[in-house]
Amino acid sequence: MPTLVTDRFTTLDYNDLSNNHVFLKSYTNGVFDYNNNQHGGLHDHQHDGANNHAHARQLIGNALRERVESIDHEYCEPGDEDTFFVADLGEVYRQHLRWKLNLPRVKPFYAVKCNPDQKLLELLSALGTGFDCASKAEIEQVLKLNVDPSRIIYAQPCKTNSYLRYVKNNGVRQMTFDNTDELRKIARLYPDAELFLRILTDDSSSLCRLSLKFGASLDSTDELLALANELGLNVVGVSFHVGSGASDPAAFLKAVQDAHTVFQQAASHGFSLKTLDVGGGFCSDNTFEQMAGVLRTALDEYFPAHSGINLIAEPGRYYASTAFTIACNVIARRSIEDIAATSYMLYVNDGLYGNFSSIMFDHQHPVAKILRSGGHTVYDTPAADATEDGIEYSIWGPTCDGIDRITESIRFPQLLDVGDWLYFEDMGAYTKCSATTFNGFTNNHDVIYVCSEPGAKALLELQ
Ligand SMILES: *Cc1c(COP(=O)(O)O)cnc(C)c1O
């Protein structure tokens, strides 16, 4: 099979890609559907796409099976039955190609906070993405990958003094600001920094609103640019974020229009801005093509290629979410006897204080599937799925807190019991990174890596 090694920020020739098993994918009601809409160069890859999908599921399934079948909860050492992840780095690679097909002019700077997994960062580094970091530790982790400091943006509008000194000493120049105090701080500590003015957006339809906390309103940008000019600072661009898990493409259009206004304001203050940063917020489900389509059209209108403006973005969940599957062990069960039917409370060894922190912080609803029950591993078979009828369960985490509930109600035909395993898909974004060790449960879980794309494999073995 031909292996595609993607470019490092040179323009991709998509007709070339069409010879290399590249496909666009979308999800329809949870079923994969490979489409090649709007991209003339991509023809007739449905077959390859389906094969690819099956191959990915097979690798993930094998990794899950091998691990859970090696553990006997009756005899194992404490922690052997702990929750673990399987990460398919091939999925990250496919997401990157999907990005390049849909937003070919926009260079992604992966938002490290979403999932700072080392292998994920290594692959993205090899793919040539940039990185959005918000702390010294994130910047340090990326620099250790031998990423050039010019591929990092310190995208935190309210920075720590000592971190500013750190980035100055390490050559990271790009950073965001959105208020006058921060401008004075930067003027004092790092006057040569390359500054992006972060503007406010309408993030009301996103999962996690960020504009409550960050972003300059359009009636303050003129004053900020005047002060930056007075302080002799180097404003190089505008950035925004439409909110994490954005669902309204119109938010992107409005933000691009506002950014265009600020570019003009900046020119009147003598700044010749060269970069627009469209932030993150992209989901990896089938809303991506629509979002990207609206954004691409807006960019082509307000920041056309001939304008010479660089375009960057800060996607996080888009890259990480679908690549990670988690497996949890059923550690306890409580039967609830009722006249009508017996239902059960299942206690698993991970919860809201752990990798399911995404339920609290990211408003997610992970869906349980059966990985292994009654001595049978049923990953990716109909027997894994919840049903309308059947035995009712609620699923709880291992801590002593009553809020630690993963699922209020779900039904399976099987009678689940202690020692069985559940799995949850799409667990790569805002999960492990915000897990705690509350109540003494570890937040350091194994990740088993598989790679369903030869291209990604080749890149990683180069490392
Ligand atoms: C969190 C964050 C991101 C990533 O957001 P996603 O919704 O995961 O794409 C990007 N930029 C900034 C400044 C952020 O705070």
> How many structural domains compose the chain?
2
The contacts of residue 232 (CB under 8 Å, 6+ apart) are 187, 191
Domain boundary among 271, 301, 320: 320
Q: Name the residue of 314, 361, 362 to mutate for ligand 1: max ligand atoms within 8 A of Cβ.
A: 314
- Output the pLDDT for position 211: 85
Domain membership of residue 371 (yes or no) is yes
**Three-class SS of residue 255?**
helix
Question: How far, in Å, CA of 397 to CA of 44, rounded?
Answer: 45
User: If you measure from the C-alpha of residue 20 to the centroid of ligand 1, how many angstroms do you get, rounded to a whole number?
Assistant: 31
351 — alpha (psi -120 to 50), left (phi > 0) or beta? beta
- 307-359 pLDDT tens trace: 999 999 999 999 999 999 999 999 999 999 998 899 999 999 999 999 999 99
Domain membership of residue 428 (yes or no) is yes
Residues 217, 356, single domain; the answer is no
Residues 356, 231, single domain; the answer is no
- 77-112 pLDDT tens trace: 999 999 999 999 999 999 999 999 999 999 999 999
Query: DSSP state, 244?
Result: B
User: If you measure from the C-alpha of residue 315 to the centroid of ligand 1, how many angstroms do you get, rounded to a whole number?
Assistant: 6
- Output the pLDDT for position 6: 37
- Output the pLDDT for position 212: 87
Give 344-396 as a DSSP string.
EEEEES--TTTTTHHHHHS------EEEEETTEE-TTSGGGS--SSSEEEEEE
Q: Is the pLDDT of residue 9 over 50?
A: no
Question: How far, in Å, CA of 373 to CA of 421, rounded?
Answer: 7
The most confident of 46-55, 297-306, 453-462, by mean pLDDT: 297-306
In this structure, which residue's CA is closest to atom 8 in ligand 1?
316
Q: What percent of the chain has pLDDT over 70?
A: 89
What's the mean pLDDT when you consider all of the chain? 90
Q: What percent of the chain has pLDDT over 90?
A: 84
34 - beta bridge partners?
25
Residues 97, 82, single domain; the answer is no
- Output the pLDDT for position 51: 77
Long-range contacts from 263-267, C-beta under 8 angstroms, 24+ separation: 263/238, 263/309, 265/221, 265/222, 265/225, 266/197, 266/225, 266/235, 266/238
CA neighbor of 89 nearest in space, from 46, 52, 120: 120
Q: What is the atom index within ligand 1 of the atom nearest the CA of 314?
A: 10
Query: DSSP state, 12?
Result: P
- Output the pLDDT for position 249: 93
Helices within 70-179 (DSSP H only): 89-102, 118-127, 136-143, 161-169
- 246-304 pLDDT tens trace: 889 999 999 999 999 999 999 999 999 999 999 999 999 999 999 999 999 999 999 99
Q: Name the residue of 113, 133, 240, 285 to mutate for ligand 1: max ligand atoms within 8 A of Cβ.
A: 113
Q: Give yes or no: 114 in active site.
A: no
CATH number at residue 72: 2.40.37.10
Q: What is the atom index within ligand 1 of the atom nearest the CA of 430?
A: 8
Q: Which residues form the domain of 419?
A: 58-86+321-450
Q: Given the structure tokens 């910047």, which residue do they identify? A: 139
Question: What average pLDDT score do residues 183-200 get?
Answer: 98
User: If you measure from the C-alpha of residue 185 to the centroid of ligand 1, how many angstroms do you get, rounded to a whole number?
Assistant: 23
Q: Is the pLDDT of residue 189 over 90?
A: yes
Residues 374, 299, single domain; the answer is no
User: If you measure from the C-alpha of residue 314 to the centroid of ligand 1, how many angstroms do you get, rounded to a whole number?
Assistant: 6
- Output the pLDDT for position 461: 83
The contacts of residue 295 (CB under 8 Å, 6+ apart) are 103, 106, 249, 252, 253, 256, 278
User: If you measure from the C-alpha of residue 343 to the centroid of ligand 1, how many angstroms do you get, rounded to a whole number?
Assistant: 40
- Output the pLDDT for position 152: 98
CA neighbor of 206 nearest in space, from 248, 246, 255: 246
Residues 239, 269, single domain; the answer is yes
Domain boundary among 269, 286, 320: 320
In degrees and rounded to multiples of 5, residue 174 shows phi and psi of -85, 130
CATH number at residue 171: 3.20.20.10
For residue 370, CA distances in Å to 39, 326, 354, 407 come to: 38, 12, 20, 14
Domain membership of residue 132 (yes or no) is yes
Evaluate: CB of 157 within 6 angstroms of ligand 1. no
Evaluate: CB of 244 within 6 angstroms of ligand 1. yes
Query: For the CA atoms of 220, 168, 148, 92, what is the dihedral angle to 10 degrees?
Result: -50
Evaluate: CB of 279 within 6 angstroms of ligand 1. yes
Residues 195, 342, single domain; the answer is no
- Output the pLDDT for position 13: 34
In degrees and rounded to multiples of 5, residue 246 shows phi and psi of -70, 145
Q: Is the pLDDT of residue 24 over 60?
A: no
The contacts of residue 268 (CB under 8 Å, 6+ apart) are none
- Output the pLDDT for position 95: 98
- Give the residue with greater pLDDT, 132 vs 7: 132
Domain boundary among 320, 349, 377: 320
User: If you measure from the C-alpha of residue 113 to the centroid of ligand 1, how many angstroms do you get, rounded to a whole number?
Assistant: 8
Residues 366, 398, single domain; the answer is yes
Q: What is the atom index within ligand 1 of the atom nearest the CA of 210?
A: 15
Residues 140, 264, single domain; the answer is yes
Residues 109, 205, single domain; the answer is yes
- Output the pLDDT for position 355: 98
- Say which of 133, 158, 400, 451 is annotated catalytic: 400
Angle (CA) 321-422-405 rounded to 5° is 80
Using pLDDT thresholds of 50, 70 and 90, give the confidence band for residue 31.
Answer: very low
CA neighbor of 406 nearest in space, from 355, 444, 445: 355
302, containing H or E segment: helix 287-302
Q: What is the atom index within ligand 1 of the atom nearest the CA of 206?
A: 7
- 354-407 pLDDT tens trace: 999 999 999 999 999 999 999 999 999 999 999 999 999 999 999 999 999 999
Domain membership of residue 461 (yes or no) is no
Residues 120, 78, single domain; the answer is no
Evaluate: CB of 178 within 6 angstroms of ligand 1. no
Residues 314, 330, single domain; the answer is no
- Output the pLDDT for position 15: 34
Evaluate: CB of 130 within 6 angstroms of ligand 1. no
Domain membership of residue 30 (yes or no) is no
Evaluate: CB of 281 within 6 angstroms of ligand 1. yes
Q: Given the structure tokens 């060269």, which residue do they identify? A: 274
Question: What average pLDDT score do residues 168-183 get?
Answer: 98
Question: How far, in Å, CA of 362 to CA of 208, rounded?
Answer: 6
- Least trusted range by pLDDT, from 51-55, 343-347, 430-434: 51-55
Residues 128, 103, single domain; the answer is yes
- Output the pLDDT for position 52: 81
Q: Is the pLDDT of residue 12 over 50?
A: no
**Three-class SS of residue 17?**
helix
User: If you measure from the C-alpha of residue 351 to the centroid of ligand 1, how many angstroms do you get, rounded to a whole number?
Assistant: 24
